[in-house]
């Protein structure tokens, strides 16, 4: 069984604050990498695609509140842990009111960021990941095979009902696979019904369920499905940005099984 695609997600740092080198060291010591964002235009999409463990916002900038509130009002990004790091301890109340999950004064960074990472960061649970790998090694149940057949036949509404039933009935972590597939299928259903914005929203929601899945699960080529969904999302965004209304339906690729070269 292949390893999860993103077993140790990054932390995202907004801007270039003077404490960034110290933050990078602390994150590295915790086993995390660091990604930086400076442009608002890439922010929300990166939070979806990178599935960060947490976000650090520079509270010393004039627009720090926007960087806090923008992801917290969107369903697909509101669960990302967000920490404001500011020069003034009195800023804590304002940061929490804006939606931040925590506030750290700059002088507290070295002492308290490791605790924040340990208690707040979205990291894969080793026990859950082991259970997920065990479950992914099992075959897809018959309703799932039928759901995939419906998906591949373009019957995206019908596949939703089948995978939703599996997801509801499954208490283990492999339920993430079922929810990922059904949400991609719902997005494709929106596309076929001429609702690109609804499709884009659903694809962005699906990213969280892909985050810790291995590249192959219950026979499904998850890596390919993830890539196909990302290609559709990018094409939808480009279409909307250009003001077009025609979508290339050939991008709605079928679900493949591992080792299937078709």
- Read off the pLDDT of residues 114-153 as tens digits, 9 standing for 90 and up: 999 999 998 878 899 999 999 999 999 999 999 999 999 9
Q: How far is CA 200 from CA 185, 208, 251, in A?
A: 12, 14, 14
Residue 28 sits in which domain range?
A: 11-123
- 30 with 84, same domain: the answer is yes
- 114 with 208, same domain: the answer is no
- 109 with 47, same domain: the answer is yes
Q: What is the reported pLDDT for 261?
A: 54
- 147 with 236, same domain: the answer is yes
Q: How far is CA 59 from CA 13, 66, 92, 140, in A?
A: 11, 11, 10, 48
Q: What is the reported pLDDT for 169?
A: 96
Q: How many domains does the chain have?
A: 2
Q: What is the reported pLDDT for 262?
A: 45
> What is the DSSP code (8-state) at residue 50?
H
Cβ contact 78:44 at 8 Å: no
Is residue 166 packed enough to be buried (19+ CB in 10 Å), middle (13-18) or exposed (0-12)?
A: buried
- 114 with 141, same domain: the answer is no
Residue 62 sits in a domain whose CATH number is 3.40.50.2300
- 114 with 155, same domain: the answer is no
> Around 249, how many Cα atoms within 13 Å sit in the side-chain half-sphere?
8
User: Cα(first)–Cα(last) distance of the chain, in Å?
Assistant: 21
pLDDT, the chain, mean: 91
Q: What is the reported pLDDT for 5?
A: 45
Is residue 90 packed enough to be buried (19+ CB in 10 Å), middle (13-18) or exposed (0-12)?
A: exposed
Return d(Cα 136, Cα 71) in angstroms, integer.
31
Residues of the chain with pLDDT under 50: 1-6, 262
- 143 with 216, same domain: the answer is yes
């Amino acid at each position: 069984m292949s390893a999860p695609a993103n077993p140790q997600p990054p932390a995202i740092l907004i801007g270039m604050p003077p404490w960034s080198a110290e933050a990078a060291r602390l994150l590295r010591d915790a086993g995390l990498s660091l990604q930086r964002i400076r442009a608002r235009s890439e922010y929300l999409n990166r939070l979806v695609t990178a599935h960060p463990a947490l976000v650090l916002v520079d509270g010393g900038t004039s627009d720090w509140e926007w960087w806090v509130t923008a992801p917290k009002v969107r369903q697909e990004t509101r669960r990302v842990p967000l920490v404001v790091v500011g020069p003034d301890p009195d800023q804590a109340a304002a940061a929490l009111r804006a939606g931040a999950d925590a506030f750290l004064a700059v002088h507290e960074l070295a002492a308290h960021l490791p605790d924040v990472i340990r208690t707040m960061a979205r990291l894969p649970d080793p026990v859950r990941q082991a259970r997920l790998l065990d479950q992914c090694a099992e075959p897809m149940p018959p309703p799932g095979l039928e759901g995939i057949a419906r998906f591949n036949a373009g019957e995206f509404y019908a596949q939703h009902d089948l995978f939703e039933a599996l997801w509801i009935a499954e208490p283990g972590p492999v339920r993430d696979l079922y929810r990922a597939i059904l949400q991609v299928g719902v997005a494709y259903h929106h596309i076929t019904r001429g609702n690109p914005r609804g499709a884009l929203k659903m694809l962005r929601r699906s990213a969280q369920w892909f985050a810790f899945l291995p590249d192959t699960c219950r026979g499904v080529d998850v890596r390919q499905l993830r890539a196909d969904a990302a290609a559709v999302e990018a094409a939808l965004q480009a279409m909307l940005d250009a003001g077009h209304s025609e979508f290339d339906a050939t991008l709605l690729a079928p679900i493949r099984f591992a080792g299937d070269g078709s």
